[in-house]
Amino acid sequence: MDRNTMHQQNEFAANLPHNAEEQHAPVNDLRSALARIANEPGQLLETGHEVDPHGQLAGVYKRIGAGGTVERPTRLGPAMIFNNIKGYPQSRVLVGLMASRKRVGMLFDAPSRRLTQRMAEAVRNAIAPVTVARENAPCQQTVHLASDPDFDLRKLIPAPTNTTSDAGPFLCLGLALASDPDTGHADVTIHRLCVQSRDELSIFFAPGRHIDAFRQKAEARGEALPVSINMGLDPAIHIGACFEAPTTPLGFDELSIAGGLRGTPVELVDCVSVAQKSIARAEIVIEGEILPNVRVVEDQNTHTGHAMPEFPGYNGPANPSLPVIKVKAVTMRHGAIMQTLVGPGEEHTNLAGIPTEASIYNAVEAAMPGFVSQVYAHTAGGGKLLAVMQVNKRNAFDDGRARQAALIALGVYSELKHVILVDEDVDPFDSDDVLWAMTTRYQGDVSSMVLPKVNGHVLDPSQTPDFNPALPARGVTCKVVFDCTAPFHLRGEFERAKFMEVDPRPWAPSLFDDKAGDDHE
């Protein structure tokens, strides 16, 4: 480790909080987010042990904190900062910042069980971003121009591979920012970005993504689409960007949700090399253009046939024809931190799932005030495919209203595949409790609503005509509502056994201190 790297790391350590007041200072970028969790026991781990970004880093974090649908063994654990990256002596890599619902709650000043409602409120109180001068944009403290003959993305940024069969190094938390060529409205989305050469990235768009619509408009004119790829951000920006239509229709700037979460606007800055803006307090920004009528094979450098691990828990297939981003510049903060995630882990569940929950909650609350108490986008569905909804039945008519709430959820979030309905005495965040309800309050032939041939998500490998010949195309699926609520007229037969209410702390004080508790407490 060279002296400059040690200085950068010591400078970062010096900025960590040393008292409760600093620890709860406002969060407006990645560094203040790290400061927020640094002194919370078990939430942040730093290591100076050398790690290879190609496979090894993800392999380490799989065993320490990835969780989610990652191949077992895995577990929930701290976020990690790797300070000694093989081949990148001046780089640091952060992984797993939001790979715990409890930690997300710390970052957003909310109990983990109230994150759905916290996000729902932010949508209703959105604050538009603002543009600041370049001298007030830390992301441009260092500028690397692609016109420099020594410029090489592959040497500049320690983009990791998650497995040995990845198509190449991926930017797993690169937030793309682009604008509609007709209206100028901006959109931000996290996309699959593979480093293809010294100055090229491939970008994968799932069907219906807004930036892809912008790209198609520009391409129809033979024009490139300016874009910035923003990495190392205030987590409010990442999670706000994961809202989708109809909650955030075309023309809605998701950065305003992050503004609503923080109560202050996200700051943008004009890029140095393209006619686009970037996140002013990002750690790293890649500036470039999506080229018109240029396509690349995603695994052209490895020929593995795979892209990378995706949220359902499987390796996504390498795409044979993806648009290309021609990089024009990379800008960085001093001592920049590269941020990544291990897919398909718990971090993806929280990034995608909490916005899913908030979208469903707002829509059902508008239609049936007070009827749904909680929505949990379960980690088994990667935050997208499976939702558990807790309903409050008060009469026999509510048996039907519960199923109507499920239909609203499916309408609000098109990628949702399965909905499980539970009563108010069942904890939607506790899988054992949900499965207990499914076992004792569900009969398959009378408690299921089956909705065949509805659009779903292309990355679920079961959503193909090969799996189900009745499906017309990949990404079309059969959706099911599992009504695991007790019929209202039989509610007395399904009353849970009641225990004495006792304060257990005198008997086991160490289990009930302020820092203890499960991830959903």
- Residues known to be catalytic: 310
Q: Residue 386: beta bridge partners? A: 418
Q: What are the φ/ψ torsions at residue 255 (nearest 5 degrees)?
A: -60, -25
- The structure tokens 């009641």 sit at 498
- Which two tokens mark 81? 């900062």
Q: What are the φ/ψ torsions at residue 203 (nearest 5 degrees)?
A: -130, 130
> How many CB atoms lie under 10 A from the CB of residue 291?
19
- The structure tokens 């140095």 sit at 272
| Cβ-count burial 332-352 (b if 16+ within 10 Å, e if not) | bbebbbbbbbbbbbbbbbbbb
- Start-to-end CA distance of the chain, whole Å, equals 40
Contact 261, 108 (CB under 8 A): yes
Half-sphere exposure of 175 (CA within 13 A, CB side): 29
Task: State how far Cα 100 lies from the chain centre.
Answer: 12
Half-sphere exposure of 376 (CA within 13 A, CB side): 21
- For residue 374, CA distances in Å to 48, 160, 180, 248, 387 come to 41, 36, 35, 21, 10
Task: State how far Cα 240 lies from the chain centre.
Answer: 9
What is the full DSSP assignment across 436-471? HHHHHS--TTTSEEEEEEEE--TT-TTSSTTT-TT-
Q: What are the φ/ψ torsions at residue 258 (nearest 5 degrees)?
A: -60, -40
* Neighbouring residues of 71: CB distance < 8 A, sequence distance ≥ 6: 62, 313
3-class secondary structure, 244? coil
